[in-house]
Chains A and B, each alone.
Chain A
Amino acid sequence: MPDVTRRQLLRWIGAGGAGVASGVIPFLAAAGQAGDAKGTAREQTLQSTGRQWVMVVDRKKCEGCTTIDKPPRCKAACKKEHFVPEEQNWMEVYEAPDEGGGTYFKPRPCQHCEKAPCEHVCPVEATYYNPDGLVLIDHERCIGCRFCLAACPFQARYFNWGKPENPPGAAFASYSPEYPVPHRIGTAEKCMFCGHRLRQGKLPACVEGCPMQALWMGDLTEDVATNGTEAVRLSAFLHERHAYRDKEELGTRPRVFYLPGHGEDYGR
């Protein structure tokens, strides 16, 4: 074997590297562009509506719809709106015993944290913030590692373990990260605060569906909130009603506020 000097070796490696790069880079670029072309739905969600959305849950009013003898209406409205797959509850209503021997209810949408652990851990930025404070999922990019399910402190995330059912209404819907229908196998799912309805000036399905007017949608920039029948000044409302956020000590800054007062274990 001939003697090879270091310089020659480096030159060969350089030439080889350049050759590989000249083949690979256009390929990567093309792949990237293909992603962008598909990503227009994602880009649309990045257009601001000029609002900063928050949800307020009045726990004093929430009775889990037991008083009208039905399963929680917010949950049902959400399921209907998004054709939410069977084992998922993007809006969940937890029921637990309170201190006085009664029962309390805790509705739980996605908390849309301003410092969202699910967003931090996502390896491909499939989870991202939109300018209005929504935490969204790009289902065309998600690789299904489920790190976000592990990282979420609120159990707000779900996964399409198998092929999700897409009834006719869902199958022909046009996908957007704000309205993630039809559902896709192997991707993470959760509540999107009904971003598609907010854009049309409508209240989220759960807020509209709540017969107790216990759910409010608010906008931090205009400092207003409404439950569909009345409107309040958001900041004063939160202050007067001693609003708190779930697991505030974690510092994730959720965009969901709870109004206490139904005998529940405070902050749980």
Chain B
Amino acid sequence: MNAEAEVREMEAAVLRPVTERSRTFILFVLAAVAVILWALYAWSVQLRNGLEVTGMRNHVSWGFYITNFVFWIGISHAGTFISAVLRLTGVGWRTPVVRMAEFMTVGALLVGGAMPVVDLGRPDRILNLIYHGQLNSPILWDLLSVTSYFTGTLIYLYLPLIPDLATCRDRLSDKVGPLRRWFFHTFSLGWQGTPEQWRLLNKGIRAMCMMIIAVMISVHTVVSFIFAMTWRAGWHSTIFGPYFVIGAIYSGIAAVVTEMWIFRKTFRFQKYITPNHFRWLGNILLAAGLVYFYFTSAEYITAVYKMSEHELGLLQALFHGPYSGYFWSYWIGGMAIPLLLLSLPRTRNMLGIGIASILINIFMWIKRYFIVIPSMAVPLQPTPWGSYSPTWVEISIVAATFAGFALIVGTLGKSVPLIPMWEMAEELEIESDARDLAERKRSAPRPAGPVPGYAPGGGAGR
């Protein structure tokens, strides 16, 4: 098959889910909306009665909401990490994965960013953060870096989408409703695929790549500072910034793998998302997991060796006290088993890597839980330990963040091409070129930028 035919086939496959009506998708949307509506009811109960309806009290004053905030901000990392780092380093296989990873960042930031708002005792006064914002509070650092990250992510997601939107505009105008026709038309910004437009686009993408990586690192660093800027046992640590960033990458890439698994099956992208993608991402996941293992060990070993009075109670509670179940199940289910699955040759296949990714997702939530709760429960005065158990309100709202996340990512995936078609076309061209005669390649090297003969909204592929 020549390159042009391959490109045409790929485009047809990628555009199919965008236009296809699917009953499964509608059922999925209804289910997600039901969970969200229930959580809105739970939130209205909380707004009427105050945070009294949660399990939080004076001793353990942060709970599920803050745990869930850390979890989602962590998930949001991988999207950009995969996309920007791999784009910057020119890794070819990234292409089918980048956009779904970026969708994930958008979804995770939206539901994660809602968590601190839900956690507020006075959400009606949230604008005080603007009128009276104090830059010496880590909460302001969070506010600034999360909103910057969200803005940057949207731009970074949007730029490579422009040529694909132009393709949709040209191809799908008779297959979609007026709303999306308008959307494709307006947001493709008059893209014609001229060399000047390509030059500007590539420049913009490159600049955003670099910026977004810096912002991404800042985000989870300042999330960790919410904890590390206090005196509490377990939080009073210098390692927390990088520790959280690596943890975020670990959990985030696992989420990308799970997502890839789902989209591959539901969108029938088996041809473009191959077992090799799982293996390659599995390698990165393994690397992140090993670094995280190292950080986590360093964090506990330095505390365990000294057994300072300050940390002693917390360590006992984690190792053989009320939190030991969470602690040890994490080491087994969140570290040992997934790292083995990712490194043993026999399990380095789609199933093994997929299972590892789901285990990591679950146990990284638990990890965040036992980072937040026990340190709050430690008594700082001669009192008994604090206790915490979430109420139905907290559980419902946390469940809704998962539903909301799935809904956002699913809807984005159904609305616009999930695989960047023009980048994919470049990849297919490169593969096809490689198969071509070497002399032809030597005599006529591929120009940088767009694929010759392939310009969405332009000539080829029609």
> Chain A: residues with CB nearer than 8 A to chain B?
1, 28, 31-32, 35, 87-88, 92, 94-96, 106, 108, 117, 120-126, 141-147, 149-155, 157-163, 185-187, 250, 268
Bound Cα distance from A145 to B121, whole angstroms: 6
A–B pairs, 7, beta carbons within 8 Å: A123-B129, A124-B128, A143-B120, A143-B129, A144-B120, A150-B62, A151-B231
Residues of B within 8 A of A145 (CB): 116, 119-121, 139
**A143-B121 contact given A125-B132, A162-B52, CB 8 Å threshold:** yes
Segment among B53-61, B78-86, B150-158, B357-365 that sits at the interface with chain A: B53-61
B382 to A106, Cβ gap below 8 A?
yes
Return the contact of A149 from the options B61, B116, B126, B227 (Cβ within 8 A): B61
The answer to the question of B49 belonging to the interface, with a C-beta cut-off of 8 Å to chain A, is yes
A150 to B380, Cβ gap below 8 A?
no
A94 to B382, Cβ gap below 8 A?
yes
Residues of A within 8 A of B50 (CB): 160-163, 185-186
A123 to B139, Cβ gap below 8 A?
yes
Closest to B57 in A: A161
**A121-B139 contact given A106-B381, A160-B50, A161-B52, CB 8 Å threshold:** yes
Bound Cα distance from A160 to B121, whole angstroms: 8
Bound Cα distance from A187 to B138, whole angstroms: 19
CB within 8 Å of A: which of B221-240?
226-227, 229-232
Residues of B within 8 A of A31 (CB): 127, 131
Residues of A within 8 A of B232 (CB): 150
Residues of A within 8 A of B57 (CB): 87, 161
Residues of A within 8 A of B376 (CB): 150
A158 to B381, Cβ gap below 8 A?
no
B128 to A141, Cβ gap below 8 A?
yes
Bound Cα distance from A44 to B119, whole angstroms: 31
Return the contact of A124 from the options B58, B133, B226 (Cβ within 8 A): B133
B121 to A186, Cβ gap below 8 A?
yes
Closest to A140 in B: B125
Bound Cα distance from A268 to B380, whole angstroms: 9
Closest to A146 in B: B61
CB within 8 Å of A: which of B214-269?
226-227, 229-232
B382 to A120, Cβ gap below 8 A?
no
Residues of B within 8 A of A146 (CB): 61-62, 119, 121
A164 to B: closest C-beta gap in Å: 9
B121 to A124, Cβ gap below 8 A?
no
Residues of A within 8 A of B130 (CB): 28
Q: Bits for B39-55, please: 1 = Cβ < 8 Å to A, else 0.
A: 00000000001111110
The answer to the question of B140 belonging to the interface, with a C-beta cut-off of 8 Å to chain A, is yes
Residues of B within 8 A of A186 (CB): 50-51, 120-122
Residues of A within 8 A of B382 (CB): 94-96, 106, 268
The answer to the question of B432 belonging to the interface, with a C-beta cut-off of 8 Å to chain A, is no
Closest to A120 in B: B136
**A185-B380 contact given A31-B127, A141-B132, A250-B231, CB 8 Å threshold:** no
Closest to B132 in A: A124
Tell me the interface secondary structure of chain B in the complex.
loop
Bound Cα distance from A149 to B63, whole angstroms: 13
* Number of interchain pairs (Cβ within 8 Å): 141
Bound Cα distance from A259 to B187, whole angstroms: 71
**A1-B190 contact given A155-B380, A159-B61, A160-B121, CB 8 Å threshold:** yes
The answer to the question of B189 belonging to the interface, with a C-beta cut-off of 8 Å to chain A, is yes
A159 to B58, Cβ gap below 8 A?
yes
Residues of B within 8 A of A158 (CB): 58
B190 to A151, Cβ gap below 8 A?
no
Query: Of residues A87, A106, A123, A268, which shows the largest number of chain B Cβ atoms within 10 Å of its Cβ?
Result: A123
A145-B120, A151-B229 known; 20 other A-B pairs, CB under 8 Å? A35-B131, A87-B57, A87-B58, A94-B382, A122-B137, A123-B133, A125-B132, A126-B128, A126-B132, A143-B129, A146-B61, A147-B138, A147-B226, A149-B58, A150-B227, A150-B232, A150-B376, A159-B51, A161-B52, A186-B50
A124 to B: closest C-beta gap in Å: 4
Query: Of residues A31, A106, A124, A163, which shows the largest number of chain B Cβ atoms within 10 Å of its Cβ?
Result: A124
Residues of B within 8 A of A124 (CB): 125, 128-129, 131-134, 137
Bound Cα distance from A108 to B379, whole angstroms: 14
The answer to the question of B383 belonging to the interface, with a C-beta cut-off of 8 Å to chain A, is yes
Residues of B within 8 A of A185 (CB): 50, 121-122
Query: Of residues A92, A143, A149, A158, which shows the largest number of chain B Cβ atoms within 10 Å of its Cβ?
Result: A143
Bound Cα distance from A88 to B53, whole angstroms: 17
**A163-B381 contact given A35-B132, A87-B58, A143-B125, CB 8 Å threshold:** no
Residues of B within 8 A of A142 (CB): 121-122, 125
Bound Cα distance from A154 to B122, whole angstroms: 24
Residues of A within 8 A of B123 (CB): 143
A121 to B138, Cβ gap below 8 A?
yes
B230 to A151, Cβ gap below 8 A?
yes
Residues of A within 8 A of B134 (CB): 122-125
Residues of A within 8 A of B122 (CB): 142-144, 185-187
**A147-B139 contact given A153-B231, A185-B121, A186-B121, CB 8 Å threshold:** yes
Closest to A152 in B: B380
Bound Cα distance from A237 to B322, whole angstroms: 45
Bound Cα distance from A42 to B140, whole angstroms: 23
Closest to A125 in B: B134
A94 to B190, Cβ gap below 8 A?
no
B384 to A: closest C-beta gap in Å: 11
A59 to B: closest C-beta gap in Å: 12
Residues of A within 8 A of B379 (CB): 155
Residues of B within 8 A of A125 (CB): 132, 134
Closest to A158 in B: B58
Closest to A92 in B: B381
Q: List 4 A-B pairs, minimum CB-CB distance, nearest first.
A: A144-B121, A1-B190, A186-B121, A162-B52
Residues of B within 8 A of A150 (CB): 61-62, 227, 230, 232, 376
Residues of B within 8 A of A87 (CB): 57-58
B272 to A: closest C-beta gap in Å: 31
Closest to B381 in A: A155
A121 to B49, Cβ gap below 8 A?
no
Residues of B within 8 A of A250 (CB): 231
B58 to A32, Cβ gap below 8 A?
no
B189 to A1, Cβ gap below 8 A?
yes
